[in-house]
Amino acid sequence: MSELFSTLSDGTAVHRWTLERSGVRVRILTYGGIVQSAEIPDRDGRTANVVLGFPDLAGYLAHPQPYFGALVGRYANRIAGARFPLDGFTYHLTPNDGPNSLHGGEFGFDKRVWDAEPVDGGVRLSRVGPHGEEGFPGRLAVSATYTLDADGSLRIAYEARTDAPTVVNLTSHTYWNLSGAGSAGGHELRLAAARLTPVDADLIPTGELASVEGTRFDFRQSRKVGAGYDHNFVLDKGVTDTPVEVAELHDPDSGRLLTVSTTEPGLQLYTADHLDESLPYAPGDGIALETQHFPDSPNRPGFPSTELRPGGVYRSETVFGFSVRER
């Protein structure tokens, strides 16, 4: 179902699409490809919204920085110095995180209104990013298809094509709180990642792939998440053609269980420690599990490549599965 959600100051309409199946209801906005809500039952059948967001467009416009629920790109995460080399030329991007580019720049995919069309089980959002948008080369035709599987799982499938060599890295910046309210710090996380990419003071990868063994980054066995994470984990499976389960987030109180399956080689764990008093949420009220290629890959030849060339197709798929675990 599609409905008019709001309008921007220039009169551009923003629509909201509601997807419902197997007891799960998800709402998607054409502004920023935002996952506005995901209503999921707990072990007692009580339904609650388990993602962070705002009830109206004004909230997203006034507070863009948390990227609540947004589709981020053209390059998710950070690019050091807001520049990268490609085919002998250095491209200069819009810096919006100190000297670095974050989530596609000052006016990235999260702040665009996407075209929408219904598909079986969901909605396909699409737009064309012109050559030079936020400094990125190539005219990029992008689509993100949101569907609910028969079991109520939320599947997000991305595709992109370019007319010139460029870099692409897309993800959904959804924050999860399986309790429906309050802190998410007591959630338990299992993550199939024996390594991570350590970062410097500006959260730029050093280039090392470090073991999680014996550190606070070891989530190979399920344990409480806590706070203090904004790090990319190197998934054991690497890049795959079809989604493979890599993470499990569990709220012991409600019994809600979220699984994450993806084709991507990395996952950014962010515990939302920087939410401030201007928001209706406190630090730690959500956990982002952003499937992705690694931060700063365009400047790190040793990382999996994010280059896309004419004639090629960027494809990425992530599935968020919902269930409950009994006591």
Contact status, residue 321 vs residue 259, Cβ threshold 8 Å: yes
Q: Backbone phi, then psi, for 299, in 5-degree steps?
A: -105, 5
Catalytic residue among 173, 187, 231, 250: 173
Residue 70's nearest CA partner among 81, 84, 79, 59 is 59
User: Residue 190 and residue 8: Cα distance in Å, rounded?
Assistant: 40
Catalytic residue among 134, 290, 293, 317: 290
With tokens 């995919």, the residue in question is: 109
Please indicate whether residue 290 is annotated as part of the active site: yes
Q: Which string of DSSP letters, residue by residue, matches 29-53? A: ESBTT-EEEEEEE-TTS-EEE-B--
Computed from CA positions of residues 159, 196, 190, 46, in that sequence, does the dihedral angle turn out positive or negative? Answer: negative
User: Residue 312 and residue 161: Cα distance in Å, rounded?
Assistant: 7
Please indicate whether residue 326 is annotated as part of the active site: no
User: Residue 50 and residue 159: Cα distance in Å, rounded?
Assistant: 27
SS3 (DSSP) at 112: coil
Buried b / exposed e over 135-173, threshold 16 CB at 10 Å, is bbbbbbebbbbbbbeeebbbbbbbbbbbeebbbbbbbbb
With tokens 């990642």, the residue in question is: 193
Cα distances from 278 to residues 117, 146, 223, in angstroms, run 35, 30, 31
Residue 170's nearest CA partner among 40, 275, 67 is 67
Residues with catalytic annotation? Answer: 173, 290
